[in-house]
Structure formats: structure tokens, C-alpha cells
Amino acid sequence: MVSDEASPIQVILYEGDGSSAVPPDRRFEIFSALLDRGYAVIRAAKGSYRNGDALPATAVEADRMLVLGDFGGDAPVLEDAGGRTAIETRDIGALDGESVLEMVEKFRDDRPMNQPGAWKPWFPVIDYDRCTNCMQCLSFCLFDVYGVDDDNRIQVQNNDNCKTNCPACSRVCPEVAIMFPKYSGGPINGEPVSEQDLEREKMKVDISALLGGDIYSKLRERSETAKSRFSKERSSDKALDERKKCLIKLQGEGMIPADVLENLPSPEEIQRKAEEAAAKAQAALAAAEGGGG
């Protein structure tokens, strides 16, 4: 699930004026229990923020905030002076991590929230210091993950369409500009890119073959002849065969999880989507060339 509605409650462990400090071991227990369940937690210590106000700016961005502290049995009433954030307070006394988690879960009630273990944030992240806007990722992806912005610049548009654990598009990028931070190995996980990586990654997959012709050089020629040759070369069977070959190759390299391959759309659907993606890429490239020279 990826949803704006899923923004978790902001929890604050308040240890400033009016509360007693929580012993370090218990503090660690509380933080681990809450973080591992998906909550963001801030420790507000004595004098951490100027003018005695213990609410950091990050917390105020949340629309709901729960302030926990050892208040000696009597949690104070707090209000956001800006009127933006609903603040509630709870006295945690000597509760351990699990009991504090229970208290926070009860407070959350049925408000939706992503849960570690139930969903994995898996989506491509583009390194624009490397990206040359070649559109190969857009042409390759069958699931509409990529699109272009108003300036015809590639962007990740539908990150929740991405297939969990499938980093295949990162392999297609000739500039090694696509990262999946949750991937195990580099440079896909964000490790620095070496010259060796560049050589290894470059054009492992011949994306133009996938689409049944060198669409990019045809595009540059921009003549009617080129256009008609392009459509001829884009024989659908060849395109499909190449795409299949490519997918099998990537699977052989451990790049595409078996369940993603098993759940690929029908050949007709793949063909339709591939054509749509290619047309989108082509239009964006043409617009970018037209606009930028």
C-alpha cells in the first residue's frame, strides 16, 4: 500500500521540563518497538529546542501527534499554537517498550498505516546526476511506472505499479542511473558507480531490439522515409521475441523474480503496452528535441 492516508502518527518521547528522564535501556526498548512497527519517533530532551518549546518542526508537519512522557501520572494538555496538529499526551510511567507500543497502537485505532513486513517500499529512484533522459527505462517498463514531467524529463510516475523485488529496468539504463535502495547489491542499491560498473551494465539489454528497430536514430533522421522504414522494421513478432529473450536473460541473471515473470500480461497485452510505452518515449524525445534543440 502507498497512500497519503497512510501517514503514521508522529510520536514524541518528551523528556523536557515537567517530565522525568526515561532510563537509557528503556528508551532504547521504546524506540525499537515503535520504529520496527512503522512509527516515527522524536526524542525531545531538556533544552533541545530554543525558548523552551519542545516541539521540533518535523513533528509539526504531522497532522496527528502523540506526546509520551513520564509525567508522574498526570499528562499535561498541549495545543499546537498554529492550530494545525492535533496533539495528545499520555503518561508512560515505567511502561516497557511493548506496553508503550500497545498504547500507541490503541491511540492509532483504525487509522490506516503501512506496516513493515506487510509491504515493501520498492520502486526505482533516478540519479539525475547521471540520467541523460534517453527514455530507455520508459520504453522498457510494461507497468507504466515511468512517465515524463512538464519539461519532458523522465520521472517515476506510478511507483506503486513497480513489481516488488524486480530491478530489471536498472539493468536497461545505459548510465546506471536507476537505483533500488532496498536491493542487496551495488551499484543498484546506491553504491557509487565505478567505471567497471558502467562497462558491465552498458547495453546488456539491447532495448532497441526489444522494440523491433532502432527507434532513436530513426527519430533523429526525422524524414518520412525513416518513418516508414521504422514502422516496417517494427514487426510485432520480432519485437515480442526479442522482449521475451530479454526477459529470460534478465531472469537468468537473477534480475526478475519468477513470480513477476509468471504474472506477466498476455503476449498481446505485452505487445500493446510495449507499443504504448515506445510511443510515449518517442513523443517525449521528439518534444525534448524540439524544445531544447
Which residues bind to another protein, rule: CB under 8 A? Answer: 2-4, 6-8, 10, 24-25, 27-28, 31-32, 35-45, 48-51, 53-62, 82, 114, 116-117, 119-123, 125-128, 156, 159-160, 179, 181-184, 186, 189-192
Helix axes 267-292, 236-252, angle to 10 degrees: 100
Amino acid at position 178, single letter: I
Using CA atoms, how far apart are residues 133 and 128, in angstroms rounded to an integer? 9
Largest CA distance in the chain: 83
Report the nearest approach of ligand SF4 to the CB of residue 7 (Å). 16
Q: Which is nearer to another protein, 170 or 271 (CB)?
A: 170
Report the nearest approach of another protein to the CB of residue 196 (Å). 17
- Look at the block and give the residue holding cell 497502537: 105
Using CA atoms, how far apart are residues 248 and 31, in angstroms rounded to an integer? 44
Q: How many residues bind ligand SF4 (CB under 6 A)?
A: 15
Using CA atoms, how far apart are residues 128 and 154, in angstroms rounded to an integer? 9
Is the bond preceding residue 187 a cis peptide, omega within 30 degrees? yes
Report the nearest approach of another protein to the CB of residue 272 (Å). 28
Report the nearest approach of another protein to the CB of residue 49 (Å). 5
Residues 152-171 that bind ligand SF4 (CB under 6 A): 154
Quick one: which of 161, 279, 176, 168 has its CA closest to 219? 279
Q: Does 13 bind ligand SF4 (CB under 6 A)?
A: no
Report the nearest approach of another protein to the CB of residue 226 (Å). 36
Partner whose footprint covers residue 49, from ligand SF4, another protein, none (CB < 5 to 8 Å by kind)? another protein
Quote the DSSP letter at residue 194.
Answer: P
Q: Does 201 bind ligand SF4 (CB under 6 A)?
A: no
Residues 128-147 that bind ligand SF4 (CB under 6 A): 131-137
Partner whose footprint covers residue 55, from another protein, ligand SF4, none (CB < 5 to 8 Å by kind)? another protein
- Look at the block and give the residue holding cell 513486513: 117
Gyration radius (Cα) of the chain, Å: 26
Q: Which is nearer to another protein, 50 or 106 (CB)?
A: 50
Residues 30, 100 contacting (CB under 8 angstroms): yes
Residues forming contacts to ligand SF4 in the complex (CB under 6 A) are: 126, 131-137, 154, 173, 175, 177-178, 181-182
